A = this chain, B = another copy of it.
């Protein structure tokens, strides 16, 4: 293997990751639903030799769309249109194991992988937003443990579906008239605790065999799921120490399961405010903070974390007691992260809201291109990251600054590629193409 180098994804959010991005003068909010805008963005990320573009997703409308561009672009359609505008960059779609049928999901990913020439990745989520339940006829959103239980079986099923055509099944012999060798196409006949699926899939095996398996939960269930199944993990950490703890833990878990830890990439989120001087970068960051709307952020805290701070004085301290009584909520990893910020930084309520406005708990860095590169290098070389999910505060300008100014520094330091060595997302990530598992 050649020298270890960074992996960089562009995490795309309508408008950008800062909650006030759409209000910033550098953003064109009329283009938030314009596929051409996203195609152009994907082309720029490809020109910078990024590993992938990534779309989050959830099958419900956030309750804070009044104040921010929080609708949801549907990832499969959107990424298929980006595939048509690009040639190399990976395409990672978030899709829920709780609110989709495995046969339908398997088809969508197989097709995306076919039409993109092997560039599909699946960010496996169980859906955190409880309001999704009502869109699928459920009274209650299934609890965390139940969701992960289904997720494990779901991954088993779709893996079997993606392997249900052997690579050699497609014969296409015009002369003999054999199109496919049906002895190499297998029903999967899965009957488990939660799912029954017969198969086979109705598409030949795709260029990558299976999409790259990505996972983004950092809870106990999430870590154990990632160690077993994921090939890349998206994660949120505010401090080098937090990142190192997670990185070491995940790699150890993978090793304990007999996996090669190099085939499980850890990619924390990073949201960079870049200026030609540190002061300029700080001023830019402040300009965004001034555009935030407390009502929005308070709603986000309430929904994501169960924290109700709307009665608190914005310029007073975060009420400790209130925070402590809510500490057992749901998933937990993002909640703990917010508690850590409060402990470490003792912010006012307004400061906390600004702290989270950038990237919903992901790490925000502010500085010159060299300073941002330093931060990336430090995490990469000190056991906290194999690369990053880059979350520009606004699009496309916030990405252009990174691509034009930080990427060249990373390249000078030998940390990032100058072009693509391979054609598929697996090749970009240094992951093998899995053989189809034999039929049992």
Contacts and interface: CB of A to CB of B under 8 A. Distances in A.
Nearest to A161: B135
B101 A136 contact: yes
A110 B74 contact: yes
B172 A59 contact: no
A66 to B, nearest CB: 5
A114 interface: yes
A355 interface: no
B84 A178 contact: no
B111 A179 contact: no
A69 interface: yes
Contacts of A116: 35
A60 B201 CA distance: 7
Contacts of A197: 134-137
Nearest to A187: B134
A81 B29 CA distance: 24
A202 B71 contact: yes
Given A80-B80, A103-B59, A198 B134 contact: yes
Nearest to A135: B103
Nearest to A93: B77
A68 B23 contact: no
Interface in A90-111: 99-101, 103-104, 107-108, 110-111
A103 to B, nearest CB: 4
A179 B68 contact: yes
A322 B72 CA distance: 55
Nearest to A200: B61
A47 interface: no
A309 B367 CA distance: 77
**What is the count of identical protomers in the complex?**
2
Contacts of A268: none
Interface in A2-37: 22-23, 25, 29-30, 32-33, 35
Contact of A66 (B76, B81, B100, B182): B182
Interface string A171-209: 010100111111001000000000111111111100000
B115 A66 contact: no
Given A80-B77, A83-B81, A179-B22, A202 B68 contact: no
B198 A135 contact: yes
Given A58-B202, A179-B69, A111 B77 contact: yes
Nearest to A196: B137
Nearest to A201: B61
Contact of A81 (B62, B84, B180): B84
A39 interface: yes
A311 interface: no
A426 to B, nearest CB: 18
Contacts of A131: 198
A105 to B, nearest CB: 10
Interface string A38-68: 0100000000000000000011111001111
A116 B134 CA distance: 29
A293 interface: yes
Given A23-B174, A99-B101, A178-B67, A77 B112 contact: yes
Contacts of A252: none
Contacts of A66: 178-182
Contact of A59 (B80, B115, B136, B202): B202
A174 B25 CA distance: 8
A312 interface: no
A420 interface: no
16 contacts: A22-B174, A32-B172, A58-B202, A59-B104, A60-B202, A65-B179, A71-B203, A71-B204, A72-B203, A77-B111, A77-B112, A81-B83, A101-B136, A134-B196, A136-B197, A137-B196
Leading 5 A-B pairs by shortest Cβ distance:
A134-B198, A84-B84, A74-B111, A80-B80, A35-B115
